[in-house]
Amino acid sequence: MWKRFVRALKSLFGGLVSSIEDPKLILEQNIREMNDQVPKMNENIATVKANVMLLQKEVKRYEKAISEYTAKIRSAINANRDDIAETYALQLEKAKENIATTKEQLNYAEQAYDKALQVKKAFMREKDRKIRDAREALRASERAEWQSRIADTLEQFEVAGIDSTHDEMINRINEETARNEARMEIALDSIDTKSLQIEVDAEKFRASELVKQFKHEMNLESGETEEKSKELLDNQKEKEESSESGKTIGKERSKS
């Protein structure tokens, strides 16, 4: 009985949760969560990389110490100071043990770093695939919503009588346009267009006569100016001839 009761409660709350779930919002939240995982993963990888770098520095420090202890032991032996050589020999042995342990730790750390990089590559590849699928699903959902709105609009055309109202309004506008055009034709027919045309022709004739008059006056003025210029030229020639004749008479008198 208890199992049945628990199962009934699960089915009740499961149905309630399913009813309030919005697939679009859940997909968008999933995309945000997957993107948020990347910085955390980078921090973990950076921590592993830092451990590798510290172990590498420690190995180099032990290698340098081993080299120094070896040189000191040789110098002490050459100086017949076995007591000093023994002291450095113990330190050298300890340094070799430490470097062996550190190299082993470094090996594990490098393996962990390589595995972390592989995990990140796999995660990024899977993340990109899921985000791409989610965005495609969201675009498909948007298209479906748009198609649903169009379908609702098309249904309203027939159900709510939008078609008939639309056609009725177009017919009204066409009728009003026809009435206005008919009024314009009647107004034009009521006007004496012949008399208007006669007045227009008379105005044109009057304008033409005025232009002719202007041309005639301009021709007369040009003729008068030509006559005056001829007179001026003749007077100038007479003056020049008289002056030349006076000069010749003066010359003849001087010779005599």
Q: Each residue of 164-213: pLDDT tens digit? A: 566 666 777 778 887 777 777 776 666 556 666 777 777 887 788 878 87
pLDDT over threshold 60, residue 15: no
pTM of the complete model: 0.45
Percent of the chain scoring above 90 in pLDDT:
10
- The predicted pLDDT at position 76 comes to 87
In the prediction, which pLDDT does 57 show?
93
Please report which confidence band the pLDDT of residue 58 belongs to, taking 50, 70 and 90 as the band edges. Answer: very high
**What's the pLDDT score for residue 101?**
92
- pLDDT of 150 above 80: no
Q: Can you say whether the dihedral through the CA atoms of 223, 229, 233, 236 is positive or negative?
A: positive
Q: Which of 7-16, 25-34, 56-65, 201-210 has the largest mean confidence?
A: 56-65
- What average pLDDT does the segment 42-58 reach? 90
Angle (CA) 79 80 84, round 5° = 85
What's residue 3's pLDDT? 64
How many Å apart are CA 71 and CA 63, to the nearest integer? 12
CA distance 232 to 227: 9
Query: What CATH number does the domain located at 2-156 have?
Result: 1.10.287
pLDDT grade for 256, boundaries at 50, 70 and 90: very low
Q: From CA 179, how far away is CA 175, in angstroms rounded?
A: 6
Give the separation between CA 159 and CA 161, rounded to whole angstroms. 6
11/79: higher pLDDT:
79
* Most trustworthy range by pLDDT among 82-86, 110-114, 121-125, 252-256: 110-114
Which pLDDT score, from 0 to 100, does residue 61 have?
92
